[in-house]
Amino acid sequence: MLCAIADGLGNGPIAKESADVIPEILEKYPEESLDELLLLCNERMIQKRGAAVAIVKIDYKLETISYSCIGNIRFYMYQQETDKMVYPLPVMGYLSGRKQKIKTQTYACKKNDLFLLHSDGVNMNSPKKTIKNARNAKCLYNSVLDTIEHGDDATFIVGSLL
């Protein structure tokens, strides 16, 4: 399973043009590694404004979740079995066509682990506490939704591993 958030720099049609590159690449090359997917996305950003991008890939057979990001998109995963919070630091910058340092991180995951991926439009006072206190993905969704100031562009994805 692949999911991603792409936040085009700026606003309007030019920002959307940059953000739209990401789903096109993911649809066309779903079997590629996250490093390769981000490199392909980056190549398509030449002469575009650019975008902050994070991609999550879940391998249900291997029970792993991989995360890679360029820009200010955050990822949290709460591993219920071990009561451990995973919060990798994103690589600062944005996809722009220029050479990028890509750092994919892979973690073990189990059934019922919760994850949250969000853009800079989501401002939570205590994201770790919010995800840890959520009973399930729907609870987490509602908690995150309550923190968003309407009118701001905010994107988030919550999930529970099956």
Reported as half-sphere exposure (CB side, CA atoms, 13 A), residue 46 has a value of 6
* Most trustworthy range by pLDDT among 36-40, 98-102, 116-120, 122-126: 36-40
What pLDDT digit, counting tens, does each position of 124-143 carry?
Answer: 888 889 999 998 999 999 99
- Closest by CA position to 53, among listed 39, 72, 34: 72
What per-residue confidence (pLDDT) applies to 154? Answer: 85
Tell me how many degrees the CA angle 59-32-51 measures, rounded to the nearest 5.
100
List the domains of the chain with CATH numbers: 2-160 (3.60.40.10)
Strand stretches in 27-119, DSSP E: 51-59, 64-70, 74-79, 84-86, 105-108, 114-118
Model pTM?
Answer: 0.91
**Residue 54 in tokens:** 């994070």
Q: How far apart are CA 22 and CA 123, in angstroms?
A: 24
